[in-house]
Every structure is written in C-alpha cells, then in structure tokens.
Structure 1
Amino acid sequence: MKLWGGRFQKETDRLVEDFHSSISFDQRLARQDIRGSIAHARMLGKQGIISPEEADKIITGLQSILADIEGGKVEFEIGAEDIHMNIEKLLTERIGDVGRKLHTARSRNDQVALDIRIYLKQEIREIEALLVNLQETLLEMAEKHLYTVMPGYTHLQRAQPITFGHHLMAYFQMFKRDIERMQDCFKRTDVMPLGSGALAGTTFHLDRQAVAAELDFSAISENSLDGVSDRDFAIEFCAAAAILMMHMSRFCEEIILWASAEFQFIELDDAYSTGSSIMPQKKNPDVAELIRGKTGRVYGDLMALLTVMKSLPLAYNKDMQEDKEALFDAIDTVKGCLLVFTPMVETMRVNREVMARAASGGFTNATEVADYLAKKGVPFRKAHEIVGRLVLGCLEKGKSLDQLTVAEYKEASPLIEEDIYDAINIEKCVAARKVSGGPAPEAVLESIKSGRAWLERLKNIAS
C-alpha cells in the first residue's frame, strides 16, 4: 500500500505508476534527502515532538541507508514513486513504525524544495571551481602572449591590430561575470524552505533556524506558499548556465575558425581533436563543435523550466516534478563542457607568425592614419574621409599603407610627414593603445594583475 494510500480503494494503474514515478532521475538526490531528514529528525527530537530516543533511532537508520546506497546495495522501487518515499519505505522496513514518525511536520513539497536547494548549492560551488581553473589558465596564456600581435575583427573583417593576450582577456571578463552570476544565484538558492509543509506550515513548534544552521543555510523562507512553489533559483541557475555556455560557444566558434586552413592561427592538440573515417588528412575540432552544439541544449533546459512554471497557480503542482531533469541536464552539461574546454584551450598551439602576418594585412592600421591627422588638428570625420581615399588608392595600386611613399601621402594631405611610418607600424599601433582596458602590453598586464587579485579575493572568501 502507498504511504499516502489511506483514502484510496484501488491500486494505482501500472501505466500511471510508471508515468508518475520520478525515481529514475531524482535518485541522485539521495544524499541530500537523507541529510535533510537527519536534520529534521534531530530537530523533532530536540523540540520534544518525538522522543530523543526515536530521533536517534531514525538518524541511525538513515545513516545506514546512506551507507548502503553509496555501497550500491540499494535498489529503488518505481512503485515508491520518488527518492523521498523510497527512503522512508526503507527506513520503516529497517526500524519499524518509528520510521513513520520522520515525516511529522513535513511534506514532500517542502522536502523536495530543500533537497534541490542543497544539491544546487553544491553544484554551483563545483562549477565556480571549474571556472576559476579556466580563469587561471586564461591569465597564464594572456601573459605569455602579451606581445603576440593578431588582427581584431568586427563583422568578421579585419579591423585593428590587437594582441592575443588582449583577446584572451576579453574572455576572462566574460567568465568573470559568469562566476558573479553563479555567486548571485547561490545567494537566492541559500534559503531553507523546510517547515513550509505542504503549503501552510504546521501546527508543530519547529525550530527552523536550527535546521537551517545544521544544513548550512544562511536564511529560511519567509512565506510557506512561496517556500514550496518557488523554483526561481533553478530558473536563475539555468539562465546563468545558458549565458556561460554562450560564452564558451563564442570562444569555440573562434577556435574552429582559427584552426582552419584559411586562418591557421592555432593548432589544436591531438588529444582534443578527432579524425575522419574516410578522409585520412582531416583533423577536426570536434570538441569545440560539440560544446557549441551543447549550448542549445542548455538553452532548451532554461526554456523548459520557464514554460513549466509560467502559469502554475500557488502552491505546489505536479508539473514541478519536471524541474529536475532540466536542472540536472543543465548542471551536467555545463560541468562536462568546462572539464574538457579548459585543457583544450590550454594545450592549443598558437601560430604567432601567421597571426602577425594577418594583423599586417587588411589595412588594420588605417585608423592610425586618421588618428595621426586628427592629432594635427584635422577634424576626425575629415581625416576619416582622407584615409578612406588613401585605402581606395592602395586597393587600385595593389599596395598596403606602409608601401605608400611620402609623396603619395602628401597628395592626400600635406600634413603627413615621414613620421607616418612610425605611426602605422603594427607593433607600435598596438603599443600606443595604452588606455585602460586597451591592447597595449602594459595595459593588458595591468588587466592580468587585476584579474589575479580578483581571483585571490575569490579564493579567500571561499576558504
């Protein structure tokens, strides 16, 4: 008989049992469920709601169940529906009727909300640690490539020269914001809902603060309806995860382009590439492509959760059982991608000479000529027009800007002198952009120092 079956006169149809059950996926919450139940039982005993001896017996039983689960000795039952009922059933079988007292002053509604929050808090911290590892890798690579000149792009057209170190630090800033979003999400996940009951709290005198302290929560939910029906924290996590995946996907897209014969900016390590079953010459960036593809999967998880929750009346509804698979998938996908993404980036070989040649082409130093004239008093819009005509002339003559003679420059503007060649030197173009946040090596080095200090503060807070 079901633990909730008192008012029913028929057994649940087998098809409904299979359809209704969530044990196939929520069994991963076993540790969190038992941890929450132990804290709840201890509080019940201290409050005199059950006897201290009964509480101790329940706690010992739960600990033995956890040991058996972790030892692979427990087979969960579909008929028991979910992880909560499976564990309660096992507990009652082991310690008798006293096991039935565990659910005093508690509902599965606040129980599952608690379990998910405990689980997600741990996963957020693990994702943060993976992101920190990635950030440290980017900082090391950026410092190594302070002077590696490459073209910067807009519209995927060569625009202005930058350095590879500067490019890497752009991603450092993206992933920094991802860590901050995870931290923000953690704050709203770090709220203990147990004690909300099914929706209206309980008549028992609970010590919710004691349970929150034992379970390492910084706050308790302030409204019982919201406590059981809120999944904002899960949606927020999926939103943060989707943005994180988008950042990885952008980086992967660039890696895929850079690894092509058309760019040849980088070569991926053999350990993070694959071949073709028919074309023996191929070296494919499959890891980067798969991360790019899995991004859509996490977007789907976010949309699934938003859609499940969009029209639910208060409080709990069975629809909310659908929260777990989407949340679990987003967590697994993000962690799996980060685990392979960081070493893929770390081990790729950078072709400095190819990058430098590319930076010298495509008139990436044209803006420097316009700035040169602007510094001599020419209105920038007029300078822009002059340089545009110079570029057009170069295209007609098959020349680059550094191949023009001073006489040809003076035809465009008498203000241009011999020092124009210094102004348009690619390395000097980059080095001159010392503005804070710019690509000059000294500016990038300051950014790296700032990034390291930020990571150090992050680690100190975590410890």
Structure 2
Amino acid sequence: MSLLWQKQGVEVDERIQSFLAGDDVVLDREFFLHDIEASRVHAHGLASIGILSADEAGAIAAALDELADAWRNGTFQLDARFEDGHSAIESVLTEQLGDAGRRIHTGRSRNDQVLVATRLWLRSRLRELESTCVRIAGVALERAEAERNIAMPGYTHLQRAVVSSAAHWWAGWAEAFIDDAQRARSTLEWIDANPMGTAAGYGVNLPLPRDAATRALGFGRLQINPGYAQLSRGKFEIAALEALASATLDLRRFAWDVSLFTTAEFGFVALPPSYTTGSSIMPNKRNPDVVELLRASHAAVSAARTEIEQVVALPSAYHRDLQFTKAPLVRGMGQGLRALALLPGLMQSIAWREDAMRAAIDPSLYATDLAVELARDGMPFREAYRAAADSARWEARDPQASLDARVSPGGPADLRLDEL
C-alpha cells in the first residue's frame, strides 16, 4: 500500500495501518467520482495561479476523465492497494504524469478533499430524497382524488373513533411527504456550501481561486472560514440524515397502518404476492415482510444520526475520529433511500377491501357527529357530549352522509387536494 504521508525511516506496522485505514477505501467508492470531479476543478485552479502549466492541467483533466471512465466500466477498482480514494487519485496521476501528478496535492489536504467529496455526494442524495418524496406524494394525491367515496373507520388509540375515508387517509400521507420534500430541499440549500480550498482547516499561503471553484462545482455559496469547514463535518451529515429521517418516520407510520390493515383482525387491505413472503414452517402463511422492513428502515437512519453525533463530540478542528462518520452516513442514507424508493409502488398496489371497511363502521362511530349536531342546534357542547354518549341514541347512518357533512377545511368533505 502506498501511503502519501509516509516519512523516510519510519516503519509502518501492518496491523496498525489496517486499523487506521479501516474500511475507508471501500466507503470511498461512494464518493470517488465526486472526488475526481473536485480534483479536476482543483487542477484548473492551480493552473490559474501558475502552480500547473496549461499543458499539465490539461493532461491531469484528461487522466481524470480516463480514471472516471475506468471506474464506471469496472476496469479500475478501489481496493487494498490504496489507503483511500484520495490517495488512489494521486497515485494514478503520479504514475501516468510524473511530476504533474505529484503537484495535484498542492494547496489542499485530505481534510478538505473528503469534505468537498462528501458535500457533493450529500447534494445528490438530498436531490434524490426530494424527488422520491414528490413521487410518493403524487401517488397519494392520485389515490385521494380517486377514493373520496370509500368510507372506512377512523381510529384513535387503535380504537374505532369516527367515520373517515380512504381519501382522507391518503391526503394525510400526501401532505406529509410534501413537507418531507420541502425539508429535503431546504436542507440541500443549507449545506450547499463549498469547503474546497480550506485545506487542513487553516487556509494556505496561496491565492486559491475559491470563488471560481464554487461556481465550477455548482455550489450555492462559499464556505468561507476554514475552521468552520472542519466544524461542519458531521454537522451537515446529521442535517441530511435528519431530513431523511423526516421521510422515513412517515414511512414507518405508513407501514404500520398497512401492516395492521393487512391482518385478519382488520382485513382492510390486500397486498400483491410480490410484497409478501412465505413461512419456512407454516404453509398457510403469507407475511408482509416488505412492509415490515420498510417500517424498520427508520431505525437505521436514526441510528446513523446518533452514531455521527457521538463521534463529533470533539474540540474544534480536524480529528481522525471524523473518519468514523463515513460508514454510518453511507449506511443510513442508503437504507433510507432504498426503502423510500419502494413506497410509490407499494402505494399503487394497495387494494382496499371495501366491504370489510364498511362492516367495521358501527353506530358508535356517529356519536361525535351527533354531539356536534346537538351543539350546532343550540345545546351547550358539554351537555351535547353527555347526551351523545348515551348508546341508546346511537343509530346506523349512511357513512357517505357523515363524510359529506364533515365540511371543516381539510376534512373529508373539503380535502383541498389542489392546495397541497
């Protein structure tokens, strides 16, 4: 293994180096193309201040393009030959270009290399999160529009409470994931700051063209202070995971509903066989394993956030501890986004068992309607409440009439789907 930092006369202990490197070279596969992109911009910046000649910068750009292509087609691998992705890039450039490759690290540190590669990666993941939440909300809105007249029980405390509708249920999820998309977008805007050129956290004695690099990489603004660039590591990752957690929290509650509705005790929902698995011992079983693992996915996101938060219990500036923020970030973002990507298809596949839902609407579910009606007609509400609690006054009604009367904004009769 080639080590960028190895000093003459210092022997490297293989076990210690293995511990130091950890899984970095594997994890850096997530960030490698972003690291290459940032290296291209850095080389252009070095040429603009005379560190590289125009020919050297052009040769570096061409070599980086070849490396990116080799990475995409599988002819180049990040493996145990390299300590991490950063050293792999410098090693390839040095091997191909000699001194020009050796100059690529002028004015930068692996501290800001990992920051900018991670930041670019986070931007792409937050865009993916936003677009996924928009797709989910779109499916929910379509179903809400189509299912205004499908009545079902509404629950509080897992007990039947009032008459509700499939449309009302779907509309709630639509608004939830619209909010999640907005949070992803606002988080993206917040972290969209360029740390390139901050080096080890104290700047360098070169006039690095940081503003030009910010434009070239498409960042919204420059992260000005090098010290804060290091302080933001972990902080920005936590923010991205929190945005993801908003969506996976809603996913968990959606999956809980579906899981309950598929049970024989409810019997409201039928799932396609592709969303279920069998039992290894009980031939009669079809288990909603996909739904259950979607429900569990929020735990991975939440755990990743907590793990990073514990790692960054540090003084200011860079510390090697921060290496341990990579694995939970990749794991948490990966699990959450994979789970959310399955949700639009699941939503489209849910089939209501309308007869079972209608049968679950018993006369007690109209008690609240009765109390409000009595209050509307002049009885003080607390008296109306006590009067409506008398089961002798409960009677079967038309569920649709109950829904049509629920005219408060956002209620089943006034869903305002066009405002979501």
- Secondary structure of residue in 2 paired with 1:216: coil
Contact map agreement 1:49 1:204 (CA 8 A) in 2: no
- Secondary structure of residue in 1 paired with 2:155: strand
Contact map agreement 2:52 2:100 (CA 8 A) in 1: no
Contact map agreement 2:130 2:182 (CA 8 A) in 1: no
- How much has 1:77 moved relative to structure 2? 4.3
* Structure 2 Cα separation of the partners of residues 119 and 217 of structure 1: 12
Query: What amino acid sits opposite 1:435 in the alignment?
Result: S
Further displaced range: 246-255 or 289-298: 289-298
Contact map agreement 1:92 1:98 (CA 8 A) in 2: yes
**CA displacement, residues 57-80 of structure 1 (integer Å, 9 cap, x when unaligned):** 211121121121222122334353
Picking from 254, 264, 268, the partner of 1:265 is 268
Instruction: State the partner residue of 2:236.
Output: 233
Instruction: State the partner residue of 2:76.
Output: 74
Instruction: State the partner residue of 1:450.
Output: 419
- How much has 1:383 moved relative to structure 2? 0.9
Answer yes or no: is 1:283 the counterpart of 2:283. Answer: no
Answer yes or no: is 1:191 the counterpart of 2:193. Answer: yes
- How much has 1:335 moved relative to structure 2? 1.7
- How much has 1:110 moved relative to structure 2? 0.8
- How much has 1:208 moved relative to structure 2? 0.7
Query: What amino acid sits opposite 2:244 in the alignment?
Result: A
- Secondary structure of residue in 1 paired with 2:17: helix
- Secondary structure of residue in 2 paired with 1:102: coil
**CA displacement, residues 41-65 of structure 1 (integer Å, 9 cap, x when unaligned):** 0111122232212211211121121
Further displaced range: 116-125 or 126-135: 126-135
Q: Any stretches of 5+ residues in structure 2 without a counterpart?
A: none
- How much has 1:243 moved relative to structure 2? 2.3
* Structure 2 Cα separation of the partners of residues 347 and 11 of structure 1: 61
TM-score (norm 2): 0.96
Contact map agreement 1:77 1:86 (CA 8 A) in 2: no
More helix by share: 1
Picking from 432, 441, 445, the partner of 2:405 is 432
Contact map agreement 2:52 2:103 (CA 8 A) in 1: yes
- How much has 1:148 moved relative to structure 2? 0.5
Picking from 299, 305, 330, the partner of 2:302 is 299
- Secondary structure of residue in 2 paired with 1:363: helix
- Secondary structure of residue in 2 paired with 1:370: helix
TM-score (norm 1): 0.87
Instruction: State the partner residue of 1:461.
Output: none
- Secondary structure of residue in 2 paired with 1:80: coil
Instruction: State the partner residue of 2:376.
Output: 375
- Secondary structure of residue in 1 paired with 2:189: helix
- How much has 1:362 moved relative to structure 2? 5.8
* Structure 2 Cα separation of the partners of residues 66 and 226 of structure 1: 30
**CA displacement, residues 104-128 of structure 1 (integer Å, 9 cap, x when unaligned):** 1111111110000001101111122
Query: What amino acid sits opposite 1:2 in the alignment?
Result: L
* Structure 2 Cα separation of the partners of residues 321 and 160 of structure 1: 52
Counterparts of residues 42-61 of structure 1 (less than 5 Å): 42-61=44-63
* Structure 1 Cα separation of the partners of residues 81 and 319 of structure 2: 20
- Secondary structure of residue in 2 paired with 1:161: strand
* Structure 2 Cα separation of the partners of residues 118 and 48 of structure 1: 27
Q: Any stretches of 5+ residues in structure 1 without a counterpart?
A: 395-400, 404-423, 452-463
**CA displacement, residues 136-175 of structure 1 (integer Å, 9 cap, x when unaligned):** 1111111111110111111011111111111111111111
Instruction: State the partner residue of 2:365.
Output: 364
* Structure 2 Cα separation of the partners of residues 92 and 19 of structure 1: 26
Picking from 321, 324, 331, the partner of 1:322 is 324
* Structure 1 Cα separation of the partners of residues 143 and 277 of structure 2: 24
Query: What amino acid sits opposite 1:276 in the alignment?
Result: S
* Structure 2 Cα separation of the partners of residues 229 and 382 of structure 1: 60
* Structure 2 Cα separation of the partners of residues 27 and 56 of structure 1: 25
* Structure 2 Cα separation of the partners of residues 288 and 14 of structure 1: 45
Instruction: State the partner residue of 2:252.
Output: 249
* Structure 1 Cα separation of the partners of residues 35 and 102 of structure 2: 16
Identity of aligned residues (%): 32
Contact map agreement 1:45 1:55 (CA 8 A) in 2: yes
* Structure 2 Cα separation of the partners of residues 236 and 100 of structure 1: 36
Counterparts of residues 329-368 of structure 1 (less than 5 Å): 329-359=331-361, 361=362, 363-368=364-369
Instruction: State the partner residue of 2:144.
Output: 142
Picking from 29, 35, 38, the partner of 1:36 is 38
Counterparts of residues 407-422 of structure 1 (less than 5 Å): none
Instruction: State the partner residue of 1:12.
Output: 12
* Structure 2 Cα separation of the partners of residues 161 and 182 of structure 1: 34
Aligned residues: 416
* Structure 2 Cα separation of the partners of residues 367 and 32 of structure 1: 58
* Structure 1 Cα separation of the partners of residues 156 and 363 of structure 2: 12
* Structure 2 Cα separation of the partners of residues 375 and 435 of structure 1: 14
* Structure 1 Cα separation of the partners of residues 377 and 127 of structure 2: 54
* Structure 2 Cα separation of the partners of residues 52 and 154 of structure 1: 69
Quick one: structure 1 residues 362 and 328, their matched pair in 2 at CA, closer, same or farther if it must change by over 3 Å? farther
* Structure 2 Cα separation of the partners of residues 80 and 277 of structure 1: 44
- How much has 1:204 moved relative to structure 2? 0.5
Query: What amino acid sits opposite 2:376 in the alignment?
Result: K
- Secondary structure of residue in 2 paired with 1:162: strand
- Secondary structure of residue in 2 paired with 1:365: helix
Contact map agreement 2:3 2:87 (CA 8 A) in 1: no
* Structure 2 Cα separation of the partners of residues 49 and 290 of structure 1: 53
**CA displacement, residues 217-262 of structure 1 (integer Å, 9 cap, x when unaligned):** 0101121111133122110111122221111011111101101111
Query: What amino acid sits opposite 1:31 in the alignment?
Result: L
